[in-house]
Amino acid sequence: MSSDKVIAVSLSSILVLAVGFVLSIAKGIVIPMIVALLFAFMLYPVIRFLTKAGMPRLFAILIVLSGLFRFSFIWFFLILYSSINAFINQYPWYLEQFKDIYSDFSFQIMQRFNISTTDFLLEYDWGKVARTFLLSISDALTSMIGYVFIVILILVFLFL
């Protein structure tokens, strides 16, 4: 009888590991699917109300989704605007902090490696740093746009 329990526990452990592995591989589809299901759950009563009011289902779906995306974009740009405005207002403080950090960093470089900081900063490839930073930002933005597109597709098919 105990060997049956050992087999059941072993199979359960293997099943949990397999499900975790499959979900980690399929997270590019699973996460947008969960987001779309949550949006569908929240927006379905509005679509049902509009269809009962006599509006065709397709138009109700388009109106609800366009309202959702308008609200999302307005919210995003308001947050972006307030963040940029706060950064501009705090810029003098950030500049002073940067100067302090830079002077400490350059002093440490000069002491540890016996080199001049002007040579160090001139020899460093700042274009490569900027290129890497911009590529990482564009990669994140492209990934986000891809997730939004998948969520839109899933929402449309859930509502139809």
DSSP string, 35-100: HHHHHHHHHHHHHHHHHHTT--HHHHHHHHHHHHHHHHHHHHHHHHHHHHHHHHHHHHHHHHHHHH
How confident is residue 51, by pLDDT bands cut at 50, 70 and 90? very high
Beta-carbon count within 10 A of 65 CB: 17
pLDDT at 52: 92
d(CA 99, CA 75): 34
Closest CA to 36 of 160, 134, 126: 160
pLDDT, one tens digit per residue, over 5-41 is 888 888 888 888 888 888 788 777 777 888 888 888 8
> What's 26's DSSP letter?
T
Give the global pTM: 0.54
Beta-carbon count within 10 A of 89 CB: 9
d(CA 39, CA 121): 50
List of residues 6+ apart from 156 with CB closer than 8 A: 61, 65
- Joined together, the tokens standing for residue 128 give 């490569």
pLDDT, one tens digit per residue, over 106-155 is 778 777 777 665 655 656 666 677 778 777 777 777 887 888 888 888 88
Mean pLDDT on 79-86: 85
